[in-house]
Chains A and B, each alone.
Chain A
Amino acid sequence: MAAVSQSFKTELLGAIPSLRAFAVSLTQNADRADDLVQETLVKAWDKHESFQPGTNLKAWLFTILRNEFYSQMRKRGREVQDSDGIMTARLAVHPAQHGQLDLKDFRGALEQLPEDQREAIILIGASGFSYEEAAEICGCAVGTIKSRVSRARTRLQEILKISGEDEFGPDAISAQVTGSNAA
């Protein structure tokens, strides 16, 4: 059958940073994440023919990675997430002053979310997928993704004790536009 094309390989390489970010978000563990990415690349390579050129390769890869993650979780009997009591230990996060929220606190809060909510909020809020793409990646309905994102958001606000999230001022926006360079 057809050999793996050079462009497919190049695109795989290009997708690795995103795959690693998604894998860390799912596993909350850098080593496990890289193993997951490795598995994903091997699987993608093996079944490259089932990828339809012109469709979203990144979404296809994320789907493979996610399936792999959950099948590993099932094999491990899901002892992964709260095995060492991280959950309860991390419940107490310092109240965040607006705009002063520490990235470490945020990471801790994210870690407390159930996987389905965490992946939904990451796919939509960080990886840049549409609801439709996220639904396809997760194999569920668009409405399910929407409600997971919304629950994730509420939960994060609770954990981080953030209020006033709905405010919509120009200051907050320009902070977002220029923020990444400022730091």
Chain B
Amino acid sequence: MKEMSKKQMADAANRHRNGDGNPLGANSEIARKLKQYYDELVSDRVPDRFAQLLSQLEKTEPAQKKD
């Protein structure tokens, strides 16, 4: 783990220098909170309505357009 964080540190530093990495600064407080905020949203349980919606769309699918 120590080795990895060293490597990651170097990578982050490189990206930082090149300006093409995380512009927030990979280890900034804001970057961390942003990730935390977003990851929490992503890991929220998906309501069933979406799977149902896709099944419905699939059933009604042969509504084909002619052009």
The tally of CB-CB contacts under 8 A between chains A and B is 132
Contacting residues, chain A, for B36 (C-beta < 8 A): 103, 106, 180
Residues of B within 8 A of A (CB): 1, 4-5, 8-9, 12-13, 16, 20, 22-44, 46-47, 49-51, 53-54, 57-58, 61-62, 64-65
Other-chain residue from A34, A121, A131, A168 in contact with B27 (beta carbon distance below 8 A): A168
Please report whether the interface of chain A is mostly helix, strand, loop or mixed according to DSSP: helix
Contact assessment for B32 and A179 in the assembled complex, using a CB-CB cutoff below 8 Å: yes
- Within residues 101 to 145 of chain A, which ones have a CB less than 8 A from any CB in chain B? 101, 103, 106-107, 110, 121-122, 124-127, 131
- A32 in the interface (beta carbon within 8 A): no
Residues of A within 8 A of B (CB): 1, 3-4, 9, 12-13, 16-18, 20-21, 24-25, 34, 37-38, 41-42, 45, 96, 98-99, 101, 103, 106-107, 110, 121-122, 124-127, 131, 146, 149-150, 153, 156-157, 160, 162, 165-166, 168-170, 172-180
Q: Which A residue sits closest to B6, measured CB to CB?
A: A170
Least CB distance, B42 to chain A, in whole angstroms: 5
Contacting residues, chain A, for B34 (C-beta < 8 A): 106, 110, 121-122, 125-126
